[in-house]
Structure 1
Amino acid sequence: MAEGAEGRTRGRPPASPSRAGDSLTLTPRLRCAWLLRVCRLHGQRRWRNQTAFAQALSTLRLQGVHPATVSRWERGLSAVPYDAVRGYELLLERPNGSLTSVFDTVLRYYAPVSRTALPLSRLHPDERTAWQRTEELLRGAAGGETLDGDAWDELTALTFSAPRFSYGTSDLWQSAAQRLLGEVLITDGVNWMQRFEAFNRMLAHPVLGAEAVEVLRAVVADRSVQSLIGTVCMYDGSDRAAAGLQVMRHLRSPADDRVFKGALMACVRKIHYGHFNGAQLTALSATLAGVLADPGAGPDAETRELVVSVLRQIPAPRRHRHAVHVLAEEQQDKALPTLRPGSRGTARLLSRRLAQEACARMDTPPDGYHDLILPALIEEALFHPVFDVRLYAATLIHASPYRAPVAATLLKELSATWLRGDELWVTTLLQALRKLGGPTERSAVEALVVDPRASTTITDVAAHALGHIGGTSPAAFWARALGRHRTAWRQGSRPGHASVLDRLVYAIGRAGESGILHTVRKDTAMPAAVRVSARWWLRTPRP
C-alpha cells in the first residue's frame, strides 16, 4: 500500500529505516537515504505517496523507478544514482545542487580514496564527447572565464570518463587547480561543497593527483591564507606518498597551531584508509605522545581531545612505547579537560531531548513517522571528538527540513546555558550553530561577540561562527566588535583578543565587506597578523 496519501495514511505508516533497540549504525548510504526520505515526507503532501512520487520521477527520464525502488533508496538498501538525486531536487523544488552536493561530500568522506570512481555515480557521455567538453571547460577555467559550481562539478566528473585526456596538458590543469582551490577557500554552502568535491576529485585522480597535491602544498606554505586548518586537512583526500609526507612534516614542525590542527584532522582518514606505512604510524604516535606529555605545548581542549582520538586509531602494535605510556596515563587522569560535556549516555539522552523538541516545532510532521536518525545526527554534531564528523552530521541536518527547528532548539539551549555559566556547553552549541543557524541565531551570536561578560574563549568561537552562520551583520556591528576587541588587545587585559579579531576579519571577508577590510588593513592599531588577513581577502578574487 502507498504511504502518505491525501487524508489519513493508508497501509503501514512511514517508518525509520532501522530499529535495533537503542543502537543505530549510521552507514554513509543510510545517512544520505535519510536525507531523501525526510525531504520527501516533509515536503508537499502529495509526495508522501511513494507511488505518486515514483511515477513523477519516471517522467524525468529515469528508467525503472517503482515505489519499491524509492523505498530501497530511502532505507539505504540500494545506491541512489546521481540522476535520481537530481530528480528529488526538481520534484521537491530544491535549489540545484542542494542535495547532490551533500551526497558527494558525505559519501566521499566516509569512503576510501578512489582513483577510478565518483562517490555519487553519474552516467557519462561517450569518450569523444567527454574529451571535447572537458577541453572546453578546462580552457575556460585556465583562461579566467567564470565557472560556477555546476561547471566545476562537470569538469572534474568528466575527468573520470576520459582520464587519458589529462596527459600532456599539465600547465592548464595546474592553472585550473590553483584557481579551484582559491575558490574553495572563500566560498560557502553549496558553492563550497561543489568546489570542495571538485578539488578532491583532482587529488584522487590517477593523473591529476600529483599536480593537485603540489598546488595544495604551495597554498599551505602561504601563511596569510585563511581557512588554513581546513586547507591542510585536504591532504586526507590523496593516498599519494607525497601527501602523507606533507602531513607528517606539518605535525613534526608545524608553522603554527592552525597547520598542526589541520594535519591532525587529516590523520583521521589517512590512518583509517591505510595511507601511512608501519614506520610512519610509529613515528606519528611518538610525535603525538610528545604533544600530550609536553606541558609547554599546551594544545587547546579540542585539539588535545583530537590528539588522543588519533592516537587510539593507531593499531596497538604500531604505537611507540612512549605513546603506550601516555595513553595509559590519559585513561587514569580524571583531571584532563573534555571539550564536550557529559558521558555517552548523557549525550544520547540530551540529543534525544533536543531532537524531540525540534520535531515538535515542525509544521509538517508525517503521520506515524518516528525519526530515529535525527537524534543520532544531533549527537554526532554536538559530541563527536572529530571535527569533520561533527561538520558532516550538521551538513545533513542543514540540508534537511529540520535545519530551522534544530537551530531554534539549540538557541533556546544556548540561552539557558549562558545564564548558567557553562562555558564548555556554550562553545559546543556555538560550534553547531555555526553550520545550522540562521538570521535569528546570528543576532544571538553577535551579542556574545560584544558582551563584556563573555570570556575570550566564548567570543572567539562566536566570532568564528559569524563566518558561516546564516544572515548578515550590519556595518555598525562590525565596527563595534572590531573596536571593542582592538582596544582589549592593546590593553592586554586578557589573552585571546588577537584571535577574536582574526576571526572577525574572516567573517567580514566571507561577507564581502571590502570597505571594512580596507579600514582594517590600514589600521596600525590592529595586530599585524590581522592586517595581513585583511590584505589576503582584498587580493583574493571572488568567483
Structure 2
Amino acid sequence: MTSTGESSGAARRRGRPQKLPVDNTPVTELGVGVDQRVAWLLSTNRLLGPDPDLARREGFLRVLKEQGVQVDNTRVSRWESGLQAVPGRVVATYERVLGLPEGSLVSVSAGLRRSFGSGPAPRETSLRDEDLTTGSFEGMLDAAERGDAGGALWLRLAEQLHRFDRVFLRKEEWTKLCGRLVEELGVAVGPAYVRRYEAAATMLRHRAAQRPMLRAIGSFVVHPDTQVVAPVLNLLTELPDAPAGDLVLRLLGSDDGNLRRAAASVAAYKIARGHLLPDALPQLESAVVGALRRPDPLDGRLDFFDLAVHLPQPSWEQVSGGLRTRRAFGMVTQARATAELVPHAQTVAIVAELAATAQAQTPTQHSREPDPMLRRLLREALLHVHKPRRHHAALVIAASPYAPAVAEQCLRLTGHPNDLLSARAWTVLMRIGHGGREDKVIRRTRSEERPTIRSRALVNLGMARGDLPDEDATLLADAAVTQQRPAERHATLFALGMQGATEIKALAEHDHDDVRRAASWWRERGPAIHDADVVSVP
C-alpha cells in the first residue's frame, strides 16, 4: 500500500495534524457574512425539520447531551445567530441529530468558509469520533478506486488525508485515486457534486495529493472531446499559484467556446482574489472585448461579464474603449457599481414574491415570519454578478428545507418573457435540484422554443433524477444530428449522456464527426451520478 513498506494506516497514525493554508481574503463584501449564513443553514434545518421536539431548543439540547455533546442554551444560541463561528465538527453533529445525509451541511458550510471567509477558520480536529484503523483507511481507498464511493465517503477520505502531513501512497495509487475523483466530479449532480468538490478542494491543499490532482484536472479539461468542463476547471480557483493561473490563461485562448467560458469564470475569481499577476491583464482585457462586442444574449456571456466587472479600473478603461455598443458599456458600469446583473428596482418585486411564496409553501412547526435571509439568498442566486456568489447562495438554499418550494417557484420563473430571468431560473434549478418535479422539467423543456433558453432546459433535463421517457430520448437523438446551433447540440447530447440514454450508442457511430466524438465521450463516462440520500447515523 505504501512506497516505504509501511502500512498507510500505521504511517498516518504517527503523522501530525496538518492545518492547510487557507486564503482568507474576502472576494467582495458579503453584507451578511459567512457565519450568519452557516447559522441560518443550521437553524432552518432544525426549526423547519419534521421533528417538533428538535425544533424546540430544549428538545434539541437534550438529544445533544444524549450523544455526549455538552453544550448549553447560550452556546446553541450563539451558533444559530452567527455570533460564534461554527466548527465543522458541530455542523456534522447537526447532521446526525437532525437525521440529514452525511456531509450535506458540512460540504456547503465548508465551501462558504473556504470561498468567502475573512477571518480565522474555527479550529478543527476531526468531524467524527471514530478511530482510524489501517483496515478502515484502506477500505475507503479501495472503495474510491473501484468507483464505489459516494460523496460522503469521498469527504471522509479527504478529511483523513487532510489531517496529516505525510501520507504514503505509490504514484500509481495517487494517480488512480485523483483521476477517479475528477472523473466523477465531471458527471456528479447536486449533493453528489458538492461533496466531491469539497473532497477535491481538500485534497488539492495536501502537498502529497496536489500534484496528482493537478495532473488529473489538466488531463480531463484538455481532452479534445471533453463535454463537461466548468465543474472540474473550477477547482483551479482553489490554487493561488502561478501554474494554475498559467493553465487558466492558456485555456482562455482556446478555440473551444466551452473552455473559454469556463476559463473566463475561473479568471474572474482569480482576479477578485489577487491570484493573477499584472502581466495577465492584457490577455484578460482582449478576451473581454472579444466576448462583449458580440451581440449574443447576455446570459451566454455571463462569465466574460463577470470578468469585466472584476478587472482593475485601469484595465476596464482600456476595455470600455473597445466596446462597440453603449449597452454593453452601461451594463458593465452598472454592475461594477451595484454587483447585480439587473438594477434592483426592476426585480425587487419578483424576488420578494418568490421568497414569500416559497416560505409559505414550506411546512413549519412555528408561526411564519418573513425570512430576510431567504430573500437575500434568492436574489444572489439569481442576479449577483459574481458567479461564486450565485453558486454558493444557491447551494445554501439547496441544503435548506426551502429547496423543494424554491424549485417550484424557479420552475414557474423559467417561463418568464425576460430571457435573462428565465435563463437564470433554469441555472438556479441546476444547483438546488428539482424537488421531485422532474415531470414538470420535462414538460417545460418540451414547450420551450427560445433557442438559448432551451439549452439551459436541456441541461436540467440531463441532471434530472429518473429515466428520460423513450419518446423524448428518440426526439433528442434525432435533433442532435440536425441542430445547427452548436450550443443546443451540446446541450442535447448532455441530456442524453447524463440520462444514460441507449440512443448514445448509435450516435457514437454516426457519420457526423462532432456528434460521434461527443457521444463516444458520453458513452465512456456517463451517466450522471446521484448520491443515495444516506442518513448520517447518530
Name the TM-score class by shorter chain.
0.7 to 0.9
Query: Which structure is higher in RCO with an 8 Å CA cutoff and minimum separation 6?
Result: 2
Matching of residues 520-535 of structure 1 within 5 Å: 520-524=507-511, 527-535=512-520
Matching of residues 18-167 of structure 1 within 5 Å: 25-43=31-49, 44-62=51-69, 64-111=70-117, 121-123=124-126, 132=134, 136=138, 140=142, 144=146, 146-166=148-168
Deviation by residue 1:474-523 (Cα, 9 ceiling, x = unmatched): 2222113333x24752xxxxx42x4333323322332333x232133234
The residue identity in structure 2 corresponding to 1:242 is P
The sequence identity of aligned pairs, in percent, is: 23
Matching of residues 39-438 of structure 1 within 5 Å: 39-43=45-49, 44-62=51-69, 64-111=70-117, 121-123=124-126, 132=134, 136=138, 140=142, 144=146, 146-166=148-168, 169-251=170-252, 253-280=253-280, 282-292=281-291, 295=294, 300-316=297-313, 319=315, 322-323=318-319, 325-326=321-322, 333=329, 342-364=342-364, 366-367=366-367, 369-415=369-415, 417=416, 421-438=417-434
User: What is the CA distance between 1:260 and its match in structure 2?
Assistant: 0.8
The residue identity in structure 2 corresponding to 1:430 is W
Question: Is the Cα–Cα contact under 8 Å of residues 497 and 526 in structure 2 kept in the other structure?
Answer: no
User: What is the CA distance between 1:57 and its match in structure 2?
Assistant: 1.4
| Among 492, 500, 507, the residue aligned to 2:495 | 507
Aligned to 1:480: 475
User: What is the CA distance between 1:204 and its match in structure 2?
Assistant: 2.2
Please state whether the residue corresponding to 1:26 is helix, strand or coil: coil
Provide structure 1 residue ranges, at least 5 long, that are not aligned to the other structure.
Answer: 1-22, 490-494
Deviation by residue 1:187-233 (Cα, 9 ceiling, x = unmatched): 22222222111111222223322222122111111122232122222
User: What is the CA distance between 1:184 and its match in structure 2?
Assistant: 0.9
TM-score normalised to structure 1 length? 0.81
Going from structure 1 to structure 2, the CA distance change for 1:287 and 1:332 (only over 3 Å counts) comes to: closer
Question: Is the Cα–Cα contact under 8 Å of residues 229 and 262 in structure 2 kept in the other structure?
Answer: yes
Question: Is the Cα–Cα contact under 8 Å of residues 55 and 66 in structure 1 kept in the other structure?
Answer: no
- CA RMSD, Structure 1 to Structure 2 (Å): 3.4
Please state whether the residue corresponding to 1:466 is helix, strand or coil: helix
Deviation by residue 1:15-74 (Cα, 9 ceiling, x = unmatched): xxxxxxxx9823222222111111111112212221221221122222x31111211111
Please state whether the residue corresponding to 1:96 is helix, strand or coil: coil
Moved more, 82-91 or 191-200: 82-91
User: What is the CA distance between 1:383 and its match in structure 2?
Assistant: 1.0
The residue identity in structure 2 corresponding to 1:505 is L
The residue identity in structure 2 corresponding to 1:388 is P
For residues 452 and 98 of structure 2, the distance between their equivalents in structure 1, rounded to whole angstroms, comes to 41
Going from structure 1 to structure 2, the CA distance change for 1:506 and 1:121 (only over 3 Å counts) comes to: farther
The residue identity in structure 2 corresponding to 1:89 is E
Going from structure 1 to structure 2, the CA distance change for 1:293 and 1:504 (only over 3 Å counts) comes to: closer
User: What is the CA distance between 1:460 and its match in structure 2?
Assistant: 1.1
For residues 294 and 368 of structure 1, the distance between their equivalents in structure 2, rounded to whole angstroms, comes to 48
Question: Is the Cα–Cα contact under 8 Å of residues 156 and 202 in structure 1 kept in the other structure?
Answer: yes
The residue identity in structure 2 corresponding to 1:512 is G
For residues 224 and 345 of structure 1, the distance between their equivalents in structure 2, rounded to whole angstroms, comes to 43
Going from structure 1 to structure 2, the CA distance change for 1:275 and 1:134 (only over 3 Å counts) comes to: farther
User: What is the CA distance between 1:414 and its match in structure 2?
Assistant: 3.8
User: What is the CA distance between 1:100 and its match in structure 2?
Assistant: 1.9
User: What is the CA distance between 1:369 and its match in structure 2?
Assistant: 3.9
User: What is the CA distance between 1:160 and its match in structure 2?
Assistant: 2.2
User: What is the CA distance between 1:118 and its match in structure 2?
Assistant: 8.2
Going from structure 1 to structure 2, the CA distance change for 1:458 and 1:541 (only over 3 Å counts) comes to: closer
Going from structure 1 to structure 2, the CA distance change for 1:335 and 1:258 (only over 3 Å counts) comes to: same
User: What is the CA distance between 1:135 and its match in structure 2?
Assistant: 6.0
Please state whether the residue corresponding to 2:85 is helix, strand or coil: coil
Question: Is the Cα–Cα contact under 8 Å of residues 381 and 391 in structure 1 kept in the other structure?
Answer: yes
TM-score normalised to structure 2 length? 0.81
- How many residues matched? 494
Please state whether the residue corresponding to 1:159 is helix, strand or coil: helix
Provide structure 2 residue ranges, at least 5 long, that are not aligned to the other structure.
Answer: 1-28, 530-538
Deviation by residue 1:164-188 (Cα, 9 ceiling, x = unmatched): 225x743321221111111111222
User: What is the CA distance between 1:266 and its match in structure 2?
Assistant: 0.9
User: What is the CA distance between 1:342 and its match in structure 2?
Assistant: 4.3
User: What is the CA distance between 1:344 and its match in structure 2?
Assistant: 1.6
Going from structure 1 to structure 2, the CA distance change for 1:321 and 1:400 (only over 3 Å counts) comes to: closer
Question: Is the Cα–Cα contact under 8 Å of residues 462 and 495 in structure 2 kept in the other structure?
Answer: yes
Deviation by residue 1:372-422 (Cα, 9 ceiling, x = unmatched): 10001111111123333323222221221111222222333444x3xxx43
Question: Is the Cα–Cα contact under 8 Å of residues 308 and 316 in structure 2 kept in the other structure?
Answer: no
Give yes or no for the alignment of 1:461 onto 2:456: yes
For residues 434 and 147 of structure 2, the distance between their equivalents in structure 1, rounded to whole angstroms, comes to 32
Question: Is the Cα–Cα contact under 8 Å of residues 261 and 304 in structure 2 kept in the other structure?
Answer: no
For residues 396 and 379 of structure 2, the distance between their equivalents in structure 1, rounded to whole angstroms, comes to 13
